[in-house]
Amino acid sequence: MKALLAPVLMSLLAVAVGATTGRAVDLETEFERGRVAEPLAPAELRPLDPVIWGRRAICYSGYRAGQSPDKGTAPSRGQVLEDLRLLQAAGFGLLRVYGSGEHGRMVVELIAQHQLGLQVQLGAYVRGSHARNGDENRRELAAAIELANAHPQVVAAVSVGNEVLVSWSFVAVPPANLAIYLRYVRGRIRQPVTVNDNWEPYAAVPGSAVAQVWGGVDYASVHTYAYWDAAFELWDFRQTAVPAERRARAMMDAARDYARKNFAAVRSALDAAGRRIPIVIGETGWQSRPTAYLAEAKVKEFARHQAHPVNQAWYYADMKTWAYGEEGKSPGDGFARPAAMFYFSAFDEPWKNADDHWGLWDADRAPKPVLGEGAIDAQGAVFYREAEGVVP
């Protein structure tokens, strides 16, 4: 009997929550109407609690060697709990998880069950247009809503979509569809909502198609990757004007400055559109091994000139200082500096193949030099050397 009543009770709960949070919409009705979502008024915006968002933040996915979401092999509850305790002991208090399926649910429930005191930005992993993938997206949204309402002490915010607006997205969601998804979720929970995406859609020209999404979020969760963008020469990673003995450090300084430039571009665009919402760095990171590859890259060997444990350690330290201050106790407000920084990522994940080695820990949970467990020899840092050249 309880199993039969559960869907009904969840439906009633969603309606009740929507009635008290405003702007609750029926998903299919909104798509039938095809209306452009009205932007949230300043008074409607849900603030980010600085007590929560001032804590060190990290992106978490717990897939270990031999496990893969593509194959449906997830980590066990014991393994996830081990990870959560490890992150907690390392000083992290705010986690980002990407979806509300088995893995995301496990994270939220374990934090609540064991009273770990961690908070989560919960993902709703939608992909594709509503016309083509509406059933799957609807299930994911429902799961996120359920978890957010069941565990409000754990779920600090909900992020609808991951890199679904940027031009190179392989899971693209039309902006008009995404705006409706945002309004649907936000009308059924009490937490702030956002979209995690590359900095470029958030820095688009006001009035463009993607800009309609800005009006439905409480904060902008922005991705910035100097590492990847070096492949397209969007910043000067070579630093050939700097002597070789100082070039590695100069490259990392330039990478940090590029991230700040991305932040400033987003801030300028949002302000120009009248959207005074805080900015969070939703993803940024650096590989410790040069495995990244992009067939379309202008610079094919971009990873070889950037990836090393020393470079990773420098980048993490620089970005952490920018986001949280010299002592790590003065986070930004989301306007002059980021309100938080979700570093990518906690652990290496072998299932990603070439797109691995971003973790602060390796796949066996051994800490890398970036965590300060061992001495870092700055002489090992990599940089561009003219004699080696760059294979175009």
Instruction: Give pLDDT tens digits for 131-169.
Output: 999 999 999 999 999 999 999 999 999 999 999 999 999
pTM summary value: 0.93
Alpha helices in the chain (DSSP H): 2-21, 27-33, 50-53, 77-89, 102-113, 130-150, 175-186, 199-202, 211-214, 226-229, 244-272, 309-324
Q: What confidence tier does 28 reach under pLDDT thresholds 50, 70, 90? A: confident
- Structure token digits, residue 96: 């980002």
Mean pLDDT of the chain: 92
Question: How many CA atoms are closer than 13 Å to the CA of 262, on its beta-carbon side?
Answer: 29
Instruction: Give pLDDT tens digits for 186-245.
Output: 999 999 999 999 999 999 999 999 999 999 999 999 999 999 999 999 999 999 999 999
Q: Is 317 helix (H, G, I), strand (E, B) or coil?
A: helix
Which residues is 59 bridged to in the sheet?
A: 96
Q: Which domains does the chain have, with CATH numbers?
A: 52-380 (3.20.20.80)
Residue 245: what pLDDT?
Answer: 93
Q: What confidence tier does 387 reach under pLDDT thresholds 50, 70, 90? A: low
Whether 310 has a pLDDT exceeding 80, the answer reads yes
- Structure token digits, residue 203: 């820095």
Q: What confidence tier does 388 reach under pLDDT thresholds 50, 70, 90? A: low
Amino acid at 302: F
Check: CB of residue 349 under 8 Å from CB of residue 356. Answer: yes
Task: Give Cα separations from 127 to 63, 100, 161, 162, 349 (angstroms).
Answer: 21, 13, 7, 8, 22
Q: What confidence tier does 375 reach under pLDDT thresholds 50, 70, 90? A: low
Check: CB of residue 349 under 8 Å from CB of residue 328. Answer: no
